A and B are shown apart, each in its own frame.
Chain A
Amino acid sequence: MKRQWKSGLILGLSLVLTMMLSACGASKGGTEVDGSSAAVELLNVSYDPTRELYEAYNKAFAAHWEKEKGQKVTIKQSHGGSGKQSRSVQDGLDADVVTLALGYDIDALQEKGLVQEGWQSKYEHNSAPYTSTIVLLVRKGNPKGIKDWDDLIRGDVQVITPNPKTSGGARWNYLAAWAYALKKNNNDEAKAQQFVQELYKHVPVLDSGARGATTTFVERGIGDVLIAWENEALLSVKELGTDKFDIVYPSISILAEPPVAIVDKVVDKKGTREVADAYLKYLYSEEGQTIAAENYYRPTLESVTAKFKDQFPKLELVTLKDVFGTWKETQQKHFSDKGIFDQIYVPGSS
Chain B
Amino acid sequence: MSQVQATRKRVLPGFGLTMGYSVLYLSLVVLVPLSALLLNSTGLTWEKFWDVATDVRVLASYKVSFLCAAAAALIDLFLGLLIAWVLVRYEFPGKRIFDAVIDLPFALPTAVAGVALTALYAQNGWIGSLFEPLGWRMAYSQTGITLALMFIGIPFVVRTVQPVLEELDKDEEEVAATLGAGRWRIFCSVIVPELVPPLLTGFALAFARGIGEYGSVVFISGNMPMKTEIAPLLIMSKLEQNDYAGATAVALMLLVISFVLLFVINSIQRWSRRRTV
* Chain A residues at the B interface, C-beta cutoff of 8 Å: 81, 83-84, 86-87, 90, 108, 163, 165-167, 203-208, 212, 215, 219-222, 331, 335-338, 342, 345-347
Contact = CB atoms under 8 A, between A and B. Distances in A.
Contact of A337 (B223, B238, B239): B238
B242 A84 contact: no
A57 B259 CA distance: 51
Which secondary structure dominates chain A's binding surface?
loop
10 contacts: A83-B241, A84-B240, A108-B242, A165-B237, A165-B240, A166-B236, A206-B222, A331-B241, A336-B243, A345-B57
B223 A163 contact: yes
Contacts of A335: 241
Interface of B: 52, 55-57, 115, 118-119, 122-125, 139-140, 218-219, 222-226, 233, 236-243, 246
Nearest to B122: A220
| The 5 nearest A-B residue pairs measured at CB | A345-B225, A165-B237, A83-B240, A220-B122, A205-B222
Contacts of A163: 223, 237
Which of the listed residues A203, A204, A215, A337 has the most CB atoms from chain B within 10 Å of its own CB? A337
A269 to B, nearest CB: 23
A342 B225 CA distance: 9
A345 B236 CA distance: 18
Residue from B55, B236, B238 with most neighbouring chain A CB atoms (10 Å): B236
A347 B242 CA distance: 26
B61 to A, nearest CB: 11
Contact of B52 (A167, A222, A337, A345): A337
Contacts of B222: 204-206
Nearest to A206: B223
Contacts of A203: 224
B122 A166 contact: no
A331 B243 CA distance: 12
B230 to A, nearest CB: 11
B251 to A, nearest CB: 15
Given A166-B237, A212-B219, A220-B118, A347 B56 contact: yes
Nearest to B246: A337
Contact of A204 (B115, B140, B225, B237): B140
In this complex, the member of B125, B140, B223 whose beta carbon has the largest number of chain A beta carbons within 10 angstroms is: B223
A167 B123 CA distance: 24
B122 A222 contact: yes
Contacts of A342: 57
A333 B9 CA distance: 69
A208 B226 contact: no
Contacts of B236: 166, 208
B1 to A, nearest CB: 36
Contacts of B124: 220-222
Given A205-B224, A345-B226, 19 more contacts: A83-B240, A83-B241, A108-B242, A166-B236, A203-B224, A205-B223, A206-B222, A208-B223, A220-B118, A220-B123, A220-B124, A220-B139, A221-B122, A222-B123, A222-B140, A337-B55, A337-B241, A337-B243, A337-B246
A221 B223 contact: no
Contacts of A205: 140, 222-224
Nearest to B124: A221
A87 B122 CA distance: 33
Which of A83, A215, A220, A342 gathers most chain B CB within 10 Å?
A220
Contacts of B242: 83, 86-87, 90, 108
A81 B122 CA distance: 25
B223 A207 contact: yes
B119 A220 contact: yes
Contacts of A219: 119
Given A165-B241, A337-B243, A346-B57, A208 B233 contact: yes
B59 to A, nearest CB: 11
**In this complex, which of B52, B115, B119, B219 has the most chain A Cβ atoms within 10 angstroms of its Cβ?**
B219
Contacts of A337: 52, 55, 238, 241, 243, 246
A222 B233 CA distance: 22
Contacts of B225: 206, 345
Of B56, B242, B246, chain A has the most CB atoms within 10 Å of the CB of: B242
Nearest to A331: B241
A206 B220 CA distance: 10
A346 B56 CA distance: 7
Contacts of B56: 346-347
Contacts of A331: 241
A221 B123 contact: yes
Nearest to B239: A87
